Amino acid sequence: MSDFRALKDKVAVVGVGNTRYGNFPETDDYGLGADAFRDAVADCGIDKNEIDGLLVCRIPYYARMGEILGISPRWTIPLPPHGRMASMGIIEAVAALEAGLCKYVALIYANIGRSRRVNYGGEESPNIWDPWGYTSPGAAHAMMFQRHMALYGTTTEQLAEVSVAFRHNAGLNPDAVMRKPITIEDHENARPIVLPLRLLDYCLINDGAVCMILTTKERAKDLKKPPVMISGLGGREAFAHASLSNFERDFFYPQLQEIAAETYGMAGVGPSDIDAFMCYDNFSPTVLFSLEGLGFCGRGESGSFVEGGTLKVGGKLPTNTDGGHLSNSYMQGWALNVEAVRQLRGECGERQVPDCEVVQFIAATPCSRSIIYTRG
């Protein structure tokens, strides 16, 4: 097992920013990315010319982004437009900062999938299984959830608890895209997409951008906001069935178990210490698989674990307090990492988790990653 303990509390998030979320045909990836960058620079009070590291995700051309922002970094990484890239990118930035390759990294993500009508399936993502009509990442989650129901007796009503709780949380977030409360019945009656999944199991598709600024612990002391430390990290890929994009035959359980040992071991905390949980929710079943894999509940017990509002702000495990991808915004993991920072700073208003000291992000994907954030 890898051991990232040397990286514990070495790097801090010092600035976060985001655009509004919605449908913005009047601008593009660069315009949204620049707005999020401006917001994050203002948030941490840094001179933007100090930024010498640039990581971009879903931005067409990294150099054009740099030109627009008028920065000349000495470390640059472009990442492809996959949801799993957020925590992968943050961890790369931690390693680069700790290695001294750069001093301040800006991570910028932008998405124009709403205004440009991106479909996430069919001809846009050709695959070997197309002749049989198998496509879209949601189908992989439907496939896994069907099996989870058969093995463990999990029900769609239990799955609904995830979507209902995140919509509740979005209702406390004035910036969320979808805020109208929903019920378990609404979930059960929603339009079927790829059964057993229905519309309310699917993430939103909207435009927007997010920016995070990271630096080392020492440099973080001189900036405007209290630093939020990166205290735990873990990762493990699941490539064995990559042609079925997003599918793992065992619900990502083996990978998540390894990540739990690494991440909790490094941070010196366990699931019971997590004050707020940020769980990558491209499709609602991911949340159940994440809870089991990390050990918040036993194997096959996630359905009963989430019953009764466990994941709501005010519940036993406040999760995706901004509403997540299902109800806040489809920022592919990036907005959830920003929400983790804001919760630890106490900036979350009505949705603030009281005495929030430890926040965990998880993305259960073919490149699963977890990050534990704590107050500096």
Partner 1 sequence: MTAYDKPLPKIDTLTRPFWELAKDEKLAVQLCNDCGDRHFPASPVCPKCLSKDQGWEVVSGRGTLFSWVTFHRAYWNGFAKDLPYDVCLIELDEGPFFVSNLVDAGGEAAVGARVEVVFEPITDEITLPKFKLAT
**Rule CB under 8 A: which residues touch partner 1?**
119, 121-123, 126, 128-136, 139, 142-144, 146-147, 150-151, 191-197, 241, 243-244, 249
Shortest CB 154 distance to partner 1, Å: 12
Compute the half-sphere exposure of residue 207: CA atoms within 13 Å on the CB side of its CA. 19
Shortest CB 197 distance to partner 1, Å: 8
Shortest CB 303 distance to partner 1, Å: 16
Q: Which is nearer to partner 1, 8 or 114 (CB)?
A: 114
Q: Which is nearer to partner 1, 140 or 230 (CB)?
A: 140
**CA separation for the pair 61, 74 (Å, rounded):** 16
Q: Which is nearer to partner 1, 27 or 146 (CB)?
A: 146
**CA separation for the pair 345, 119 (Å, rounded):** 36
Shortest CB 252 distance to partner 1, Å: 15
Q: Which is nearer to partner 1, 39 or 186 (CB)?
A: 186
Q: Which is nearer to partner 1, 117 or 191 (CB)?
A: 191
Name 90's Cβ contacts closer than 8 Å, sequence gap at least 6.
107, 212, 214, 230, 337, 371
Shortest CB 91 distance to partner 1, Å: 26
Burial class (CB in 10 A: 0-12, 13-18, 19+), 23: middle
Residue type, 236: R
Decide the pairing of beta strands 53-57 and 75-79: parallel
**CA separation for the pair 90, 85 (Å, rounded):** 9
DSSP reduced 3-state for 45: coil
Q: Which is nearer to partner 1, 42 or 240 (CB)?
A: 240
Q: Which is nearer to partner 1, 135 or 216 (CB)?
A: 135
Shortest CB 160 distance to partner 1, Å: 18
**CA separation for the pair 345, 163 (Å, rounded):** 26
DSSP reduced 3-state for 210: strand
Residue type, 22: G
Shortest CB 141 distance to partner 1, Å: 9
CA distances to 88, 292, 295 from 288, rounded to whole Å, are: 21, 6, 11
